[in-house]
Amino acid sequence: MQNRGLIKFIAIIFALVSIYQLSFTFVANKVKSDAKAFAAGKPEKEVKYLDSIGKEKVFNLGFTSFTYDEVKTKQINKGLDLEGGINVILQISVKDVLKQLANNSTNPVFVKALADAKTNQRGNQSYLDAFYEAFDANSNGTTLLSSPDIFGNRNLAEEIKMQMSDSDAKKVINKKVEESIESAFRVLRERIDKFGVTQPNIVKLGTSGRILVELPGAKDVDRAKKLLSSTAQLEFWETLKVEEIGNYLGSVNEALKKTEKSAVAQAAPKATSKIDSLLVDKTAKDSTATKADAGPFFSKIVSGGQQGSPVLAYVKSKDTAVINSYFKRADIKALLSSDLADTKFVWGKPSEKTGDVVELYALKGNRTNTPPMSGGVLVDASNSYDQTGKPSVTMQMNGKGAKIWEELTGRAYTQKSNIAIVLDNVVYSAPGVSSGPIAGGRSEISGSFTIDETKDLANVLRAGKLPAAAEIVQSEVVGPSLGQKAIDSGLNSSIVGLLLVSLWMLIYYGKSGWYANIALGINLLFLFGVMASFGFVLTLPGIAGIVLTMGTAVDANIIIYERAKEELRAGLSLDEAVKKSFSWTGAMRSIIDANVTHILTGSILYIFGTGPIKGFALTLLIGIITSLFTSIFITRIFLERAVSNGTKLEFANSWSKNWFTGFNFDFLKIKRGTYIFSSCVIIISLVSIFFVNGLDQGVDFVGGRTFQVKFEKTVEPTAIAAELSKKDVFESAEAKIFGTDDQLKITTKYKIKEEGVSVDTEVNQKLYNALKSHFSPSMTYDKFINSYDGKELGVLQASKISPAISADIKTNSFWAVLGAMLVVALYLVVSFRKLGYSLGALAAVAHDVIFVLGIYSLCYKFMPFHMEMDQHFIAAILTVIGYSMNDTVIVFDRIREFLAGNRKGNFNQIVNDSINTTLSRTINTSLTMLLVLLIMFIFGGESIRGFIFAMLVGIAVGTYSSLFIATPVLVDTMSAKDKEEIDTRHAKANA
């Protein structure tokens, strides 16, 4: 091999760099281990320990040293499925952005287009594109986007001119929407940087308006979601008192008596005090009727507010939606006097003190619905403590804000009224002013806060408000104990897989097997070194990718060794056989063709995949490249050194020398039988998929919520499903055993189309209330839902996927599978220069995909593990496509070689000889892959068992199809003229 010295130099440098990069991971793990030992099972103590040594030197290399904070940033990052934590995808509401840009236009075409865009938005289509389509359809050329009552308003006067064409206006709107998304991205990045987790990650997902946020180690689910999705619309409003609004509330109650069902009489005794308290000027009224019927409105009030108070009433949280619907009714609004016509009714912030009861406030509104002062005047905010020692938030305003604040507080002092501090339409506090106007612009928000809440509120106010609502459209929560189990199962499967593959190489290839194993070890070093160098995240599917890399790493060596054995049997010397096997006409062409198909399918998986699937694809791609380097260059260095030293190599042990040799099977003779068999399998599969069983589509494809719940003892899935399907819980839910009999995977679509953190919290609360009877009394809501170190019971993992995301995933999956097949087919056309090769490969791959889908359709109802159609399954299908192509390409390369040579026999004989001479390669490569996958299936953990099973079936079927489908199709699609030309040429050459 030329440039052997250069290859050695590159390999040594690469190895040293990999060891250097990986050393940071070892040091970081050592420090974390010390912290755990010091904390003795107390998470808070562990965090404090790590924080305290952040600036201390923990890694000394002699020429330089690193602090723990520096070491942390250079270690291999673990994904949430290994580390535990929270992963969310936020969708910035482009609809809100458009409404802001249009100055809340009421133009009917604009309003209808906004609504239609939401309804008609297709999978993988952005809301903005859907809006443009809907606008064009509704306007039909009669209304322009640049109309003064739409986007041609004073807010965009400089960018959008009168009568500007829609195409030009769209360019401006696109730019403004992108600026809003970028602004949201900056705000969110500022927030999570101060959230307090190590190595948070935030990424914009293309131009979709979606933002991925990962918070490794985060444990308080509700707090994290609230922080991320809060728009931080801080407003200051003047309030109305009970006596100013009491008459109206009484009128509302009387009006509702005529249209709503009467409240039960039993509620009346409690209602008397409410009415007396609310309607302070009507206490003398006869209470007999009141006792008989409190009325629809008053019956929902727990207690009334005091005279002079801004709190009108106290209401249970579950009743707020009904009361809101009352206030929105036109006939109820009409009861407001002219001076109260713009009144806004809002709710207070729930607290531990009031439980599920919230306060009702009335704010002095105005026609434009703009507050006297907004949060835009704030220049700083910090968490602090009020005069009583309770947590609060201190704010500092700019000059303009200070002046408005002084006027507001002066008016409140004079009128003995209150000022409501409203964040995202929720009143956090409504203090009065007892010492005159407040000057200087410095003030304080106090209320029923926890320390974490004041920290988050100050963080949000300081970072700025989001330009539009940020809805959580996909989320995943993984407990740390589940992550540790994933690490253990991944590590076990990796070690066992590595040992078995290494053992097989030694058994089958003897001394040369050692060289392949050394190359495999170097390949793993390079793989982890690359991941550490570029900051890639290691996930559980990523570990599966690493284990698969072991199979691909020896795959190239198997092709090389089998070729060398053939050349030795043909009479070449050892030196000549080694050189021939590493030549383009030897094994290199097959290796390159096979790995290019792998790289193409892996690239498509990376492009269309999200989250852990991207990690799997990336690991697979890196593994393919490092495997090629070590197999082609490192193994060759060892082999050529052995040859130069006079070492005797036969690429086999004495007992394995003749394994898988001497085959002389007529594959083409039985092609009619294999066609019939495969056709039957395909027909049965398609009937099952489309007409009988269908497929078990997971939430990735249909949307929904899933919870992995661990119980204290064995539970019956049907009974749990029945409890959760009650009308007052989820109405509909599924429960399946997940791994062990005391662990269930619960799925529901309850309120999946509704957005907001409050909905997620409601779902969590309903789940806890429905299942808490299956746990001991010590199982609180916090313990059940949130994560903590050592958690073994309750919700170990939870995920949510909105219908919009699931539609995109389904669309992406379709194009990923179809794209992989077409791209690989196109490559084969270019590489082999004959359409028949491409058609044969496509037929084999289509056969394999349908076969795997059929198995899943036929078996998902009774298999003891989950066989859902999700992103992992699509990753498995794409991997199957890659390996099926691999096997097919090895056979096709030999057919091409034999047909181009001077081999004896007619066309069919040459094709059969090609298959028979590659059987040893096919069996060995498939056997090593099946061995590795079987180990992962047994030891890899429940969460990836269905994923691995799909690949197990796919590799086995792919081996069959490369021999019995791809080659016969190639033969049948080759023209009679080409076959005759080949027969004539070979006959002449062997005359």
Give the separation between CA 713 and CA 404, rounded to whole angstroms: 61
pLDDT tens-digit series, residues 17-48: 889 888 988 888 888 888 888 877 666 677 67
Average pLDDT over residues 833-850: 87
Strands 311-316 and 391-397: unpaired
> For 724-880, where are the E strands, in sequence order?
734-738, 740-748, 794-801
Give the separation between CA 856 and CA 853, rounded to whole angstroms: 5
Give the separation between CA 930 and CA 951, rounded to whole angstroms: 9
Q: What is the pLDDT, as a whole number, of residue 349? A: 78
Give the separation between CA 585 and CA 598, rounded to whole angstroms: 21
Q: What is the pLDDT, as a whole number, of residue 782? A: 85
DSSP H helices, 707-776, are: 717-724, 757-771
Q: What is the pLDDT, as a whole number, of residue 267? A: 40
- CA torsion sign, 96 to 98 to 99 to 100? positive
Average pLDDT over residues 186-207: 69
Question: What's the Rg (C-alpha) of the chain?
Answer: 35
Q: What is the pLDDT, as a whole number, of residue 215? A: 78
DSSP codes of every residue in 203-217: EEETTTTEEEEEEET
Give the separation between CA 20 and CA 56, rounded to whole angstroms: 20
Highest mean pLDDT (candidates 490-504, 715-729, 933-947): 715-729
Element (H, E) at 373: strand 373-374
Q: Which two tokens stand for residue 168?
A: 């030009």
Highest mean pLDDT (candidates 446-450, 658-662, 735-739): 735-739
Give the separation between CA 300 and CA 386, rounded to whole angstroms: 34
Which range has the worst mean pLDDT, 163-167, 526-530, 577-581, 615-619? 615-619
Average pLDDT over residues 630-642: 86
Q: What is the pLDDT, as a whole number, of residue 874? A: 83
Average pLDDT over residues 892-901: 81
Q: Give the single-character DSSP code of 864.
A: S
Element (H, E) at 821: helix 803-832
Give the separation between CA 313 and CA 310, rounded to whole angstroms: 9
Please tell me whether residue 908 adopts helix, strand or coil conformation.
Answer: helix
Please tell me whether residue 89 adopts helix, strand or coil conformation.
Answer: strand
Please tell me whether residue 236 adopts helix, strand or coil conformation.
Answer: strand
Cβ(248)–Cβ(337) below 8 Å? yes
Residue 136: how many other CB atoms lie within 10 Å: 14
For the CA atoms of 922, 928, 932, 935, the dihedral, rounded to the nearest 10 degrees, stands at 110
Give the separation between CA 747 and CA 866, rounded to whole angstroms: 13
Average pLDDT over residues 838-851: 89
Q: Which of 966, 901, 985 is nearest to 667 (CA)?
A: 966
Q: Give the single-character DSSP code of 141.
A: T
Average pLDDT over residues 424-447: 78
When pLDDT is cut at 50, 70 and 90, the band that residue 110 belongs to is very high
| Main-chain phi, psi angles of 708, to 5 degrees | -100, 110
The answer on pLDDT for 383 being more than 50 is yes
Tell me which of 360 and 511 has the higher pLDDT.
Answer: 360
Q: What is the pLDDT, as a whole number, of residue 516? A: 87
Cβ(79)–Cβ(540) below 8 Å? yes
Angle made by CA atoms 629, 635, 641, in degrees to the nearest 5: 135
Q: What is the pLDDT, as a whole number, of residue 196? A: 59
> For 653-784, where are the E strands, in sequence order?
704-710, 734-738, 740-748
Angle made by CA atoms 928, 930, 933, in degrees to the nearest 5: 110
pLDDT tens-digit series, residues 776-832: 988 988 888 887 666 788 888 888 888 878 888 888 888 888 888 888 888 888 888
When pLDDT is cut at 50, 70 and 90, the band that residue 465 belongs to is low
pLDDT tens-digit series, residues 287-304: 334 434 678 888 888 888
Q: What is the pLDDT, as a whole number, of residue 288? A: 38
Tell me which of 444 and 327 has the higher pLDDT.
Answer: 327
Q: Which of 466, 379, 351, 372 is nearest to 421 (CA)?
A: 372
DSSP codes of every residue in 248-303: HHHHHHHHHHHHSPPPPGGGHHHHHHHHHHHSTT-TTS--HHHHH---TTGGGEEE
Give the separation between CA 321 and CA 330, rounded to whole angstroms: 17
The answer on pLDDT for 840 being more than 80 is yes
Q: What is the pLDDT, as a whole number, of residue 292? A: 42
| Main-chain phi, psi angles of 359, to 5 degrees | -95, 145
When pLDDT is cut at 50, 70 and 90, the band that residue 285 belongs to is very low
pLDDT tens-digit series, residues 741-789: 888 989 998 888 887 777 888 898 999 999 999 999 889 888 888 876 6
Q: What is the mean pLDDT of the chain?
A: 81
Give the separation between CA 663 and CA 803, rounded to whole angstroms: 54
Is the pTM above the cut of 0.75? Answer: no
pLDDT tens-digit series, residues 388-418: 778 888 888 888 888 988 888 888 888 888 8
Residue 188: how many other CB atoms lie within 10 Å: 22
Please tell me whether residue 749 adopts helix, strand or coil conformation.
Answer: coil
Q: For residue 172, what are the CA distances in angstroms to 10, 110, 116, 142, 146? A: 51, 17, 22, 20, 10
pLDDT tens-digit series, residues 62-80: 778 888 888 887 888 777 7
Q: Which two tokens stand for residue 834?
A: 């004959």
The length of the chain in residues reads 991
| Main-chain phi, psi angles of 779, to 5 degrees | -80, 100
Average pLDDT over residues 628-643: 86
Give the separation between CA 18 and CA 521, rounded to whole angstroms: 13
Q: Which two tokens stand for residue 335?
A: 């009861």
Tell me which of 312 and 923 has the higher pLDDT.
Answer: 312
The answer on pLDDT for 910 being more than 80 is yes
Residue 117: how many other CB atoms lie within 10 Å: 23
Give the separation between CA 980 and CA 906, rounded to whole angstroms: 9
The answer on pLDDT for 263 being more than 50 is no
Instruction: Say how many Å lie between the first and final Cα of the chain, rounded.
Output: 38
The answer on pLDDT for 284 being more than 50 is no
Average pLDDT over residues 230-240: 80
Type of residue at 467: P
Type of residue at 368: T
Tell me which of 262 and 344 has the higher pLDDT.
Answer: 344
Q: What is the pLDDT, as a whole number, of residue 540? A: 72
Q: For residue 894, what are the CA distances in angstroms to 586, 832, 835, 891? A: 10, 12, 17, 5
650's CB contacts (< 8 A; 6+ apart) are: 510, 565, 568, 657
Average pLDDT over residues 330-356: 82
Please tell me whether residue 211 adopts helix, strand or coil conformation.
Answer: strand
pLDDT tens-digit series, residues 475-484: 777 766 666 6
- CA torsion sign, 321 to 323 to 327 to 329? positive
